[in-house]
Structure 1
Amino acid sequence: MNFQDMSFDQRYRAVQSRDHRFDGLFVLGVKTTGIYCRPSCPARTPRAENVQFFRASAAAHAAGFRACKRCLPEAVPGSPEWNLRGDIAGRAMRLINDGVIDQHGVSGLAQQLGYSTRHLTRILREETGAGPLALARAHRAQTARLLLTQTTMPMSDIAFSAGFSSIRQFNDTIREVYDLSPQQVRGHGHRTAQTDTATVDLSLSYREPIDLPGLFAWFAARAIPGVELADDFSYARAIRLPGGPAWFRMYTSPDSAGHLRLQARVTEMQDLPVLMSRVRQLFNLDADPVAVDTTLTSLPAARPLIAALPGVRVAGCMDPHELLIRTMIGQQISVAAARTILTRITTGLGDPAPDFAPGLTRMFPTMGALAERGSSVLRGPKARQNAVLNAAETIAKGELSLGFGDDPDEQRASLLALKGVGPWTADYVRMRVTGDPDVFLIGDGALRAGARRAGLPADKAELLAWAAQASPWRSYLTTHLWRAPTVPAQSQQGDPS
């Protein structure tokens, strides 16, 4: 359930029951104390007349409230609402989390969205209760709290890593938001011992249940040798960020009840929040699995799938342009065949991986390198080779730019305008780049095979009509059908990248 769909009484009942499912969806300010909390805060429930609800913590900050020191409302997963929404507010929130304001300012954010700064500010204030600068400031405070409580990084490094422009701004913001000095916030943490001070090691929040084995298996099956390392419990790779190459490793820690952890190293400290945001998007950590599974289990034919794999996530991506190329190469061939072609491309065209990326040798090629020299390493049908080269050249020239804040429909139209890109490719990219939760890949052979094994209609029109009942979570239904008991490998279109 979204914030805007809930009445005051529904929100208050969630607070009375201390329901963890609503953590991150909204916060409540207590007028008598000036404190704001997550819905599941263990403190005594305030009287209803003393409660004010906010969609975002930044709105609570702007209204003069400070974060609760007991429940730490900033330590919860982000709101799943923004992935559901393709409107300006949802797109803006995704871009703010991706560091656009820190890199390009509010004017840069507005330009990417195609609005004036004044109009964008008005929209965000109406939708969230806070303007873009306040939202970016709250995001910096959340990042800083995470680094303060979980790492031994020096204060100055934390300040600039979180996106603050000065130590003074960092100190003032932390005191205002948490009513504590940065050193006092650090005193409330549980830090992991780190021998390499340049590498951070953080525990990441998410809503349970979560199918981590399924996610790691997904990435392992598609990992390009030398570019990615993946097994049953971890996934690692290097990527390019605005400040230079970065490396990360997601893994489950056996000494912390299988909790999901992130190891990361960046060339420039300011890229750390960007990396953290993209990793959360990659693993879909801000999803609401209870809402998803509740809707899908209302369909009798889907119940066995959900019961077998509760908390399934839809994999995102780290680099939208790379995903497009990988998807185009993987069209209508097996996962293994796609890996073979991608290995040849990255070996021949990829830059060396950074020295601080253990076990990795290559980066995925830039679009410029692929456009200029891709013909020397690409194999397969000439039409597909030309389509890949054309897409890379179009991106390299700046004629096409894919991003996490794209309007889903506009992105789909831009992709369909490319030679060699059909509805399946455009929808698959849209699902993984924008996080659209309601994509059903009816043209996908692997999906239909899974549907047959689940006893669903074989006819495309009938299957599409049946799947409409799963809205707005058809991307998750798609993933469940891919995960249905497998059939012998064959050359068919289906989740290649």
Structure 2
Amino acid sequence: MDTDDGSPSRIACISLFEDDLSRWEAAKDRNAIADGLFFRASANTKVYCRPVCKARLPRRENVSFYKTSGEAQAAGYRPCRRCKPNHEGLMPEDAAVLKVQAFLEGRDRAFKYGSTPESLSQMARQAGLSKWHFHRVFKKCTGMTPVQYRRSVARMQSDFVYDGLSYMDQLTQESEEYPPLLNALNMLENSIEGNFSEGQSEDNSGNYPDCLF
């Protein structure tokens, strides 16, 4: 994920992380400003990550820093499978959260016409994710499984006649009667700011638990 952006703002940000002490502090804080400006590598796992990676941070004595992903790879480190430091753009987890957000925001039309996805596969397809990844991210974002969400929406549709209000407005108006669904959307908003659980190692991003329905 090497960039050639020479804008004044980027140059100013780079100057914030010119030494290893400031880079270490940024990695500990998972400072979003540092993303793309340097990379941290673990001597134990031989894996390098973005400074904002949600994987467990190694001990300081086992960490080295590189200005570019190319330098890290040339030093013998392989890219983290979780944060994809060799790819441009958002980390995969953050991109998945945005897809789930877009899916929920797209419920306006479905709510208006009384249409509810009938299966996990259909909901995942609408969000553009595999069904297992969709299930995992959806539950982490909202606190409920996609099936629980579907049942909540179906209950709302059976109780209300569409009166021109948006889906989000309906949720807000009925917050006392339908707190689980509103709470799910509040959790989604928080997760967009980076509230994923932490503590996973760099190479276990593909190991998701079986989903129960």
Bigger-Rg structure (1/2): 1
TM value normalised by structure 1: 0.16
TM-score, with structure 2 as normaliser: 0.35
Larger RCO (CA within 8 A; separation ≥ 6): 2
